[in-house]
A and B are shown apart, each in its own frame.
Chain A
C-alpha cells in the first residue's frame, strides 16, 4: 500500500506560500485575472494589497503587466486556469517572458482531465506542450501539495521564467517535511530493475500503486517522479533505460508534447528503449468526477501496470 498523509489540492498552497516568501524578504508581486479565489492568489492579496494587481478577465494583459513589473526588479507571479494561461496568452508568454527571460512565474491551476465536472473546455491537456515549446521556461508539475509549495519557493528564488502546473481536486499527499524538491531531479520513489514508471502530477501516486500491483506478479518496477519536466533529469532517465530496459510514462495531459514526448525523444536520440505512454490520446475530455474520468480515460494504476507488462514484452532479448 502506498502511504499517504491526507489530501490537499496543489492549488491551495499558492497564495499562502507567496505570503511566506514575501514575509521572508523577497520582492514579490502577483497579477491576477479574476481566478485568484480558485488559485488561492487572493490569500496573498489579503495580506499584501499593494502588491496584488487584479486586471480582470484579461490573460494577455496579465502576462504583459507581469513582464513589465519583472523588468523593474519584481518577482512577478501570475495565476489562472491552465486553459486560459497559457491557453489565451501563448504569444505574450513567448514575447514578453520567454524571449527576454523576464522573471515571470505562471502558476496554472485546474490543469488536466481531473478538472472534472466542468467538461472538455475546462480540461487543459495541451499546456505542457505549449510551455515545453519555449526553452527558457522551467516547467514543473508537482506530485502533491508538499512538493508544490517547494516548487513555488524554488521558482521564486531562481531568476527567469517558470511554469507551475497545479490541479483542482484534493489529491493525496505523499511527501513529508523531509522531502526536498530539486530542479532537474527525478527522484526514485520505488526501487526496481524490470521496468521504470516515470510519472508527473497526481499520476505519481498511481504509478506507485501500479508498482505494488506489478510486485504481486513478481515484476519489480522503478518509479521516478518527473515533477521537473524542464530541466529534465537526463542521468536518471539514462540510468533507467540502461538498468531496466523498458519505460512507461504517465501524465494527465495529451501524450503529444508532454512527458511522454520528452522522454521518448531523449531516449530515441541517445539510447533507444521501448516506451509506452499513458495519458490522454486522441480524444478531448468530458464531464464527470475526477476519479471517474481517470478510469474512463485509462489513467489508473491498473492501466499503468498493464502498459508496463506490454512494454516489458518489447524488450530486446
Chain B
C-alpha cells in the first residue's frame, strides 16, 4: 500500500502549475468544459493525491485505498489532470478529453479510467455515494478514508443535506467532505461577497436579482455555511485560503485524523484561480479559453506560449 508521498510545497506548486496548464489546454482544444470551477479546485485535489491519500496508481482499485469522490462532476479536468500527473495514465491522453470514444468524458464516469470512483455530473450526488463507501469500509473493517469534494452548487441540492444529516447520524469517522467555496456558479454569484459593489444589496429585492451585465447576484446565499454543517453534527474547519498548500495539508490531515464522526473543511477559493481574466468571472464557469486567451493564460502561468 502506497503511503502519501513526501512532496515538498515547492514540488506541489509545480504540479499544480502543470495541472492548470492541462485544464486550460484540455478545455481549449475541444472548446468546451468548465475551467472556472476546475481551476478553483487545483490545490485541493493536488494536495489530496500527492500529500494526503493512500493510493497506488499501479493498483487503482485495491480495496484498502483511500477514495476521492468528486461530486462537482463538471470539474472533471482537474481530476484527470491530477491523476495523470500521479501516474494513473499518460498525460498525453489528456488531450482526448471530451472526444468521441475517449475514456476522459465531459463529466466523470465510474472506472474510466480505473480509479475514478463515481459517475458524476448532476450535482448533489457525491456525498451520499461517499457515505455508502464509508459505511462499507466500516463494515468490512478496512481502514480507508473517503474524501468528497463539493461545490457551492452541490451545497444547494437537497440530497446533499440528506447525506449530511445521515452521515452524522451514522457517526462515520472515515468521511471527509471538502467544500470548494468559490462563491460563483452557473448563472453568476452564489451570494453577495464576490462581485463589485456586492455590499450594496438592494433591500427591496429579497433573494437574487439580475445585474446589469446579465449575471445573477445572490442566487442562493449559503451562509452561515459552517454553522449549518456544525448544527447537523459535523466537525468543521473553515480555511481562509484553499490555494495555500501548507494550510490545506495541515487542515486536511486534521480532518482525516478526526474519527468521532464526519468532518468537513470549507475552503475559501477563487473561481478561475491563476488566470487573470477568469478569476471571479462567472463567464468562465462553462466556457473555454479561445486560442488567443489560452496563449495569454499560459504566459501568466509562466509557460512559454
List chain A positions with a Cβ less than 8 A from chain B. Answer: 29, 31, 50-51, 53, 55-56, 58, 60-61, 63-74, 76, 91-92, 95-96, 99-100, 102
CB-CB nearest in chain A for B132:
A68
- Write 16 A-B pairs (CB below 8 A) sorted by A numbering: A29-B139, A53-B135, A55-B169, A56-B162, A64-B128, A69-B135, A71-B133, A72-B132, A72-B137, A73-B63, A74-B136, A92-B128, A96-B125, A96-B128, A100-B119, A102-B110
Q: How far is the CB of B126 from the nearest CB of chain A, in Å?
A: 8
Please determine whether B136 and A92 come into contact, CB atoms closer than 8 angstroms.
no
- Chain B stretch 162-176: residues in CB contact (< 8 A) with chain A: 162-163, 165-166, 169-170
Q: How far is the CB of A100 from the nearest CB of chain B, in Å?
A: 4
Query: Given known contacts A73-B63, A95-B119, A95-B121, is B132 in contact with A67 (CB within 8 Å)?
Result: yes
The 8 tightest CB contacts between A and B, nearest first, are A68-B132, A64-B128, A72-B136, A61-B162, A100-B110, A58-B162, A65-B132, A60-B159
Q: Which residues in B have their C-beta under 8 angstroms from that of A58?
A: 159, 162, 165-166
Q: Which residues in B have their C-beta under 8 angstroms from that of A64?
A: 125, 127-129, 131-132, 159, 163
Q: Which residues in A have their C-beta under 8 angstroms from that of B165?
A: 56, 58
- Chain B stretch 109-134: residues in CB contact (< 8 A) with chain A: 109-111, 117-122, 124-125, 127-134
Contact check: which of A61, A65, A72, A100 meets B140 at CB < 8 Å? A72
CB-CB nearest in chain B for A51:
B139
Q: SS class of chain A's interface: helix, strand, loop or mixed?
A: helix
Query: How long is the Cα–Cα vector from A64 to B159 in the complex, in angstroms?
Result: 9
Q: Which residues in B have their C-beta under 8 angstroms from that of A50?
A: 139
Q: Which residues in B have their C-beta under 8 angstroms from that of A63?
A: 128
Query: How long is the Cα–Cα vector from A50 to B136 in the complex, in angstroms?
Result: 10
Query: How long is the Cα–Cα vector from A76 to B135 in the complex, in angstroms?
Result: 12
Q: Which residues in A have their C-beta under 8 angstroms from that of B119?
A: 95-96, 99-100
Query: Given known contacts A95-B121, A96-B129, A100-B109, is B162 in contact with A55 (CB within 8 Å)?
Result: yes
Query: How long is the Cα–Cα vector from A232 to B159 in the complex, in angstroms?
Result: 34
CB-CB nearest in chain A for B69:
A68
**Binary flags per residue of B255-288, CB closer than 8 Å to A gives 1, else 0:** 0000000000000000000000000000000000
Contact check: which of A68, A74, A76, A100 meets B128 at CB < 8 Å? A68
Please determine whether B120 and A95 come into contact, CB atoms closer than 8 angstroms.
yes
Query: How long is the Cα–Cα vector from A96 to B133 in the complex, in angstroms?
Result: 13
Is residue B158 within 8 Å, beta carbon to beta carbon, of the partner chain? Answer: yes
Q: How far is the CB of B175 from the nearest CB of chain A, in Å?
A: 10
Q: How far is the CB of B96 from the nearest CB of chain A, in Å?
A: 20
Q: How far is the CB of A96 from the nearest CB of chain B, in Å?
A: 6
Query: How long is the Cα–Cα vector from A204 to B169 in the complex, in angstroms?
Result: 43
Query: How long is the Cα–Cα vector from A295 to B170 in the complex, in angstroms?
Result: 46
Q: How far is the CB of B133 from the nearest CB of chain A, in Å?
A: 4
Q: How far is the CB of B272 from the nearest CB of chain A, in Å?
A: 27
Query: Given known contacts A58-B166, A99-B109, is B129 in contact with A67 (CB within 8 Å)?
Result: yes
Query: How long is the Cα–Cα vector from A72 to B127 in the complex, in angstroms?
Result: 15
Given contacts A64-B128, A91-B122, 7 further A-B contacts (CB under 8 A): A51-B139, A56-B165, A60-B124, A63-B128, A68-B135, A71-B110, A71-B132
CB-CB nearest in chain A for B163:
A61
Q: How far is the CB of A52 from the nearest CB of chain B, in Å?
A: 11
Please determine whether B133 and A69 come into contact, CB atoms closer than 8 angstroms.
yes
Please determine whether B166 and A56 come into contact, CB atoms closer than 8 angstroms.
yes
Query: How long is the Cα–Cα vector from A53 to B124 in the complex, in angstroms?
Result: 20
CB-CB nearest in chain B for A94:
B122
Please determine whether A69 and B159 come into contact, CB atoms closer than 8 angstroms.
no
Query: How long is the Cα–Cα vector from A63 to B128 in the complex, in angstroms?
Result: 8
